[in-house]
Amino acid sequence: MHLSSLAWALALASLAVAAPSRRSNLVVHERRAQEPRDWVLTRRLDSGAVLPMRFGLAQSNMHKVEEMLMSVAHPSSPTYGQHFSMKEIVDTFAPSTETVEHVVNWLVGEGIDKKRLKLSPSKGWIEFDATAEEAEGLLDAEYHVYTHAETGAQQIGCHSYSVPEDIREHIDLIKPTVHFLHRVPTPNQLRKRSFERPSTHIKSGLKTDGSLADVPADLANCDQLITLDCLRALYSIDYTPVSTDKNTFGILEFTPQAFLQSDLDMFFANFSPSQVGTKPILISIDGGVDQTQDTGFNFNGESDLDLEYAFGLTNPQPILLLQTGDIPEGASFDNWLDAVDASFCTFEGGDDPTQDGIYPDPLPGGFDQPESCGILTPPFVISTSYGQDESSVTAAYAQRQCTEYAKLGMLGSTVLYSSGDNGVAGNGGICLDGDGNPVENGSQFNPDFPVTCPFVTAVGATQVNPGSTVDDPEGACEQVIFSGGGFSNFFAMPDYQAAAVTSFLTNHPPPFSGEQFNNSGVARGFPDLSANGANYVVAVAGEFERVFGTSCSSPVVGSMITLINDARIAAGKGPVGFINPVIYTDKFQAAFHDITTGGNQGCGTPGFTSTEGWDPVTGVGTPNFTALLPLFLELP
Ligand SMILES: *[C@@H]1O[C@H](CO)[C@@H](O)[C@H](O)[C@H]1NC(C)=O
Ligand SMILES: *[C@@H]1O[C@H](CO)[C@@H](O)[C@H](O)[C@H]1NC(C)=O
Ligand SMILES: *[C@@H]1O[C@H](CO)[C@@H](O)[C@H](O)[C@H]1NC(C)=O
């Protein structure tokens, strides 16, 4: 399939073909978010080099995004739970004919033959191949080649680009331009520690008699080892699903992360024997496979953890494994969004080769089929334990992706992201300098993305404090990892959290200035809620490991929401969808354990401190499932 010709669209419009050059009106549309680390500017791009230019058209009715989402997600809305159809959403937000015309007129006026222009099937993108010289003239940009110091890999990019002032409102972003570096999101610094007990002894114990006789994995030791039973006790989870054929729960993984069936079975044999042999349903996105050529903690840790705990807590709910990206290239957040929303899908016309996997993939062993576009109805719950630094993307890129999460909420999906594992710092503990660039000794906090998008649910991490039991209050996680939290540098505070966040800032003013975080009082705060993220027993590559991370917390919250959806489906209701407007209400506070101790240190500071009420370390707290269920069942 190829991009449809623009001819039909143009027939509708009488084009002004000889528009005067508007170069004098050019205004900067996007500037690179940060200078690339580890990439060296090598040379100016040859003027004859061909660039596959893609112009992302502005969607219509963007002012309605929040209003439509709240109409189905806010508990006081009369239409709560009456989610929209995909068609309603596509029709509402599709770029207008007027927008297509404006952009086409501009390009044609700049001398681009209209026969070279293609419109994507979604009508979201205009595409044409431009020489570097043409692109540079059009966008007042300079393209350079950058070389990766270690691997010699190369990519091209420009530092900023401009468009005519009257075109700005019709364009979200243009690629390839300033979006740099981030092809594969890295798993949140998932950390592990081998059992501190004599590990050979424990392992042989497991292998020989299949029991945990000599492992102190019981309720008395949840401060040292978290198991399914610890979580059930901590969060009062006592529910067996009955609507499994109608319910859906998706776990998102990015290749080369992969699970090993032998690990799941090893975990089940010890902690959930009836599930031995249970497999996830593989949804292959862009050639996503459960690769087994690379194994070990770094390849299997995340997927094994997510599936072992999601399966265990929602038994017997089937689980969809959204395995995204082929082995050579991998994928990004945009790629899985393409798979659940054909209108976002930028088939041959919009994914950014420096950010996103581009399919078909010509690399040896690559996925040689068309990009996975609208292949999947979004599951009711989607848990994702991957993230990148907000500072590594541009505001326009983040905004466009964030709008997609709002649409998933309108459709009735709960989208959960782990909040990051470095406290107020970014991946690798990196913070920002005064200009927002990542530096070793930066003092400005470095929040994660996409958790800062106000239309996802951000999940932070807690711990059973050392020496405490499941009956004692948990604290913020301060072992091995620190719960990602703070305030967005891009996104404004949504109404649903205004009271909670304002109360925090007013009653517990953090000892930091605007130099460290956006303290305006109108920035989006995160996380939204939290769950245990320390000391998980996970079978990985044939061994039990002890695992830490908000990566643990997200699938646990996802499991609880899945159980709630099950009960609602059994009661003839729909899934809960976007939960944030609900969980911040006064009424629901009684169903959360408020976390009031611990902090999320980073950037040479103690970070924020957990306190009464919402805080930017643990959100509104950890769920009490037994209390939460009837409240969600009361909603229409
Ligand atoms: C950070 O390190 C750079 C380079 O070593 C130095 O020039 C700068 O002054 C340091 N900044 C701070 C805040 O320490
Ligand atoms: C702080 O966040 C708000 C809301 O997003 C934004 O309007 C404001 O410009 C931000 N301030 C700074 C200094 O970035
Ligand atoms: C959880 O909620 C239930 C029902 O409201 C309550 O009986 C129970 O004590 C709560 N559990 C904890 C640990 O607070």
CA–CA distance, 459 with 582 (Å, rounded to integer) = 15
Is residue 220 lining ligand 2, measured as CB closer than 6 Å? no
Across the range 155-173, mean pLDDT stands at: 92
What residue ranges in 256-360 does DSSP mark as E strands? 281-285, 320-324
Is 528 known to be catalytic?
A: no
Return the bridge partners of 622, or none: 593
List, chain by chain if needed, residues with CB within 6 Å of any ligand 1 atom. 441, 443
CA–CA distance, 137 with 140 (Å, rounded to integer) = 5
Expressed in angstroms and rounded, the spacing between residue 474 Cα and the centre of ligand 3 is: 14
Match 């993305």 to its residue by tokens: 449
Higher pLDDT, 317 or 352: 317
Look at residue 270 in the predicted model and tell me its pLDDT. 93
Q: Tokens in use for 536?
A: 């998980």
Expressed in angstroms and rounded, the spacing between residue 591 Cα and the centre of ligand 3 is: 8
**Average pLDDT, rounded, for the chain:** 87
Picking from 617, 188, 251, the residue whose alpha carbon sits closest to that of residue 389 is: 188
Is the pLDDT assigned to residue 213 strictly greater than 50?
no
Is residue 523 lining ligand 2, measured as CB closer than 6 Å? yes
Ligand nearest to the CA of 452: 2
Residue located nearest, by CA, to atom 5 of ligand 1: 441
CA–CA distance, 511 with 419 (Å, rounded to integer) = 22
Look at residue 494 in the predicted model and tell me its pLDDT. 98
Other C-beta atoms closer than 10 Å to the C-beta of 98 total 11
CA within 13 Å, CB half, 484: 40
CA–CA distance, 382 with 592 (Å, rounded to integer) = 21
Phi–psi pair at 8, nearest 5 degrees: -60, -40
Is the pLDDT assigned to residue 130 strictly greater than 80?
yes
Expressed in angstroms and rounded, the spacing between residue 37 Cα and the centre of ligand 1 is: 16
Other C-beta atoms closer than 10 Å to the C-beta of 335 total 26
Q: Which of 198-207, 216-225, 394-403, 609-618 has the lowest mean pLDDT?
A: 198-207
Instruction: With H, G, I as helix, E, B as strand and everything else as coil, classify residue 509.
Output: coil
Q: Tokens in use for 7?
A: 């001819």
Helix, strand, coil percentages, rounded to 5, for the chain: 30, 20, 50
DSSP per position, 347-390: TTTT--TTTS--SS--STT---SPP--S-SPPPSEEEE-B-EEG
Ligand nearest to the CA of 516: 2
pLDDT, tens digit, for every residue of 219-249? Answer: 999 999 999 999 999 999 999 999 999 999 9
Pick the CATH number of 191-634 from 3.40.120.10, 3.60.21.10, 2.40.128.20, 3.40.50.200: 3.40.50.200
Look at residue 84 in the predicted model and tell me its pLDDT. 98
Confidence of residue 3 (pLDDT cuts 50, 70, 90): very low
Residue of 432, 489, 520, 526 with the most ligand 2 atoms within 8 Å of its CB, for mutation: 520
Burial, 603: exposed, middle or buried (Cβ in 10 Å; 0-12, 13-18, 19+)? buried
In single-letter form, the type of residue at position 499 comes to A
Is the pLDDT assigned to residue 61 strictly greater than 70?
yes
Active-site residue, selected from the candidate residues 304, 306, 308, 361 = 306
Instruction: With H, G, I as helix, E, B as strand and everything else as coil, classify residue 133.
Output: helix
pTM of the model: 0.86
Confidence of residue 205 (pLDDT cuts 50, 70, 90): very low
In single-letter form, the type of residue at position 266 comes to M
Expressed in angstroms and rounded, the spacing between residue 386 Cα and the centre of ligand 3 is: 31
**512-547 burial, b for 16+ CB within 10 Å, e for fewer?**
beeebbbeeeebbbbbbbbbbbbbbbbbbbebbbbb
CA–CA distance, 365 with 440 (Å, rounded to integer) = 37
Confidence of residue 122 (pLDDT cuts 50, 70, 90): low
Beta-strand pair 143-148/39-44? antiparallel
Active-site residue, selected from the candidate residues 223, 302, 390, 474 = 302
Q: Tokens in use for 91?
A: 């029709």
pLDDT, tens digit, for every residue of 603-627? Answer: 999 999 999 999 999 999 999 999 9
Phi–psi pair at 564, nearest 5 degrees: -65, -45
- Are the C-beta atoms of 420 and 449 separated by less than 8 Å? no
The CA-atom distances, in angstroms, between 265 and each of 216, 260, 326 are: 20, 9, 25
Give the residue range(s) of CATH 3.40.50.200 domains in the chain.
Answer: 191-634
Look at residue 605 in the predicted model and tell me its pLDDT. 97
- Are the C-beta atoms of 95 and 169 separated by less than 8 Å? no
In single-letter form, the type of residue at position 634 comes to E
pLDDT, tens digit, for every residue of 326-378? Answer: 888 788 888 899 899 887 775 444 565 555 677 777 777 888 888 888 899 99
pLDDT, tens digit, for every residue of 460-476? Answer: 999 999 999 999 999 99
Instruction: With H, G, I as helix, E, B as strand and everything else as coil, classify residue 560.
Output: helix
Is the pLDDT assigned to residue 195 strictly greater than 80?
no
Look at residue 363 in the predicted model and tell me its pLDDT. 75
DSSP per position, 16-84: -TTPPP-GGGEEEEEE-SSPPSSEEEEEEPPTT-EEEEEEEEPPS-GGGHHHHHHHHHSTTSTTTT-PP
Across the range 40-68, mean pLDDT stands at: 92
Is 413 known to be catalytic?
A: no
